Chain A
Amino acid sequence: MAVSWGLWSTLLGFLAVCLLMVGWGRRGSMTSKQLSLLAVLAAFCAAGRAVTGVGLLFLQPTMFLVEITGFVFGARAGFFVGAATPLVSNFFMGQGPWTPWQMLSWGLVGASGGLLKVLFPRAGNGLLTVACFCWGYLYGALMDLWHWSVFVRPLTLKTYFLTWLAGFGFDSLRALGNLLFCAALGQQTKKILEYFHRKMVVEYVEGL
């Protein structure tokens, strides 16, 4: 085979994620509150992914939290919390060549939350739940793209479909888990995050 697609797709994911993370840290300055809040949210998501990811396989109370983070704090924050989730949890569960693509996919989940906020500023928990459900499948499809490009030949639509079909059960479990968790805990989470979002901005009043 003349072109090693596995090599290129992995490298591309790696480069993209490096550029995005470096760019994320370079643009503008951040206050200590923003920084620590995002870091702790990322740690919380990573812990949720690792603690339940091992026992319950794919029912993780995490993806909806990333989505809501993006919705409340904006796309940039959502991307970071999403991308850091697999990175941090993989420090404990095992890093692999899959990490960059996982980071990209999770980052997209968070960024899509910010997009939802722009499109539907007054969206309730229902819309977020539907989005989380869709992301359960979309995340699987994105990760299958990497898996397919590295391990399957020839690279045709048919083989991709078969790869996707092989993971369909897991994807459905993930989507269902997202649906349940977001429906049960979404409202409460959104309230808590909005409270801290208000608390994050400090205004110094002159001459008080």
Chain B
Amino acid sequence: MWEKLFYREKGLFLQSLHPAAMLAYLLVFLLLCLLYENPLYLLALFFLLALLNLEAEGREAWEGFLKGGLLLVVLIMVVNSLVIRAGSTVIWSGPAVPLWGKLQVSLEALYYGATSGLRFLVLLSLFCLYNLVVSPDKLLSLLAGFAYYSVLAVVLATRFFPVVVRNLLRIKEVQELRGVDFNQGTLWERVQKYSSLYGVLLLSSLEDAMGIAESMQARAFGSGKRTLYRHHLWRPRDTICLAGSLGAFSLALWGWFHGYGRYEFYPEADVLIKDAATVGILLLVCLGLSLPLLLSKGWKRWPFLRSKI
């Protein structure tokens, strides 16, 4: 399951963007998805993210994310509809529960629950996209200027993660060759076998850490003032994407303060499309946000554009 989720370099346009531009773009998505309450707006974001995930060749990962999220969506809907009493269209009333009051499900509460569920799916799709297009190495090297020790420690930990997993398998194999059968014995015996595995793994990992420290020392770690070298290119495509996301965000904010994208669920749900401006603003915001998608399509099919951005 992990191989699908973990970032892999596929030579995609979306992966070639500067990490700062990509992060700004994803951040705008995140803010809008948490800001908007209107189901139509959330649906549009979801649609756009679906296209982006497919463009990033992440269909399998995305489907995995959505399948995992569905259970939580149902939970969100059930909790919302049972607890909220603000809705005026009651579709089911149940028996009275002590300390709680009468059970009641209203259409508005169900609607709100479904919208919350949709928002959760938008969030999942967004982070699926993040996992597909942002390389952890690039991200961490971008942050290294701000917090050197934290980032260095996190980079080391990320680098060491697969090593620990590999060591675990190696130690298990060695134990098995020496005659330890991990699938045999009572539960307590098995626990003992595994706990010896754990101890060996912890000790050998920490010994490795000492080795790393010595090799860092040998490479002059902490011997003087540190220099910083950046090698990420800022290309026209990054400017275009950044402008698109900033434009979309400012327009969305302007719209939000003028009431576009807001939505009242209680006591009665609003009309979905109040006026033409509701759709117009949504379309413009989506246009700004779809710039990377459009560029990516063009980048694949049009060598001239490819040479210019």
A residues at B contact (CB < 8 Å): 1, 4, 6-7, 10-11, 21-22, 24-26, 29-33, 35-44, 46-47, 50-51, 54, 61, 80, 84, 87-89, 91-97, 150-154, 158-159, 162-163, 166, 184-185, 188-189, 192-193, 196, 199
Contacts and interface: CB of A to CB of B under 8 A. Distances in A.
Contacts of A184: 191, 195
B82 A36 contact: no
Q: DSSP majority for the A interface?
A: helix
Interface in B67-85: 75-76, 79-80, 82-84
B123 A92 contact: no
Nearest to A159: B83
B228 interface: no
Nearest to B219: A32
A126 B123 CA distance: 41
Contact of B79 (A33, A44, A92, A163): A163
Contact of B35 (A4, A33, A41, A42): A4
A51 B168 contact: yes
A61 B112 CA distance: 38
B206 A196 contact: yes
Contacts of B7: 91
B56 to A, nearest CB: 14
B15 to A, nearest CB: 16
Nearest to A65: B202
Contact of A88 (B161, B168, B203): B161
Nearest to B263: A1
Interface string B207-222: 0111011101100011
Contact of B156 (A1, A26, A35, A91): A35
14 contacts: A7-B31, A21-B150, A25-B151, A35-B149, A37-B209, A39-B153, A47-B164, A50-B165, A91-B7, A94-B65, A96-B127, A97-B123, A153-B112, A196-B209
Contact of B2 (A1, A21, A43, A50): A50
A146 B282 CA distance: 28
Contacts, number: 194
B124 interface: yes
A15 to B, nearest CB: 12
B5 A96 contact: no
A38 B210 CA distance: 11
A96 B212 CA distance: 31
Contacts of B75: 166
A158 B97 CA distance: 14
Contacts of B210: 33, 36-37, 196, 199
A34 to B, nearest CB: 8
A50 B203 CA distance: 20
Contacts of B221: 32
B34 interface: yes
B156 A158 contact: no
Interface in B132-167: 136, 146-154, 156-161, 163-165
A76 to B, nearest CB: 11
**Which of A39, A54, A166 is the most central at the interface, judged by chain B CB atoms within 10 Å of its CB?**
A39
A30 B164 CA distance: 24
Given A25-B150, A37-B210, 17 more contacts: A7-B34, A25-B148, A25-B153, A31-B222, A32-B214, A32-B217, A36-B209, A39-B154, A88-B154, A92-B2, A94-B65, A96-B124, A151-B116, A159-B83, A159-B84, A189-B202, A196-B209
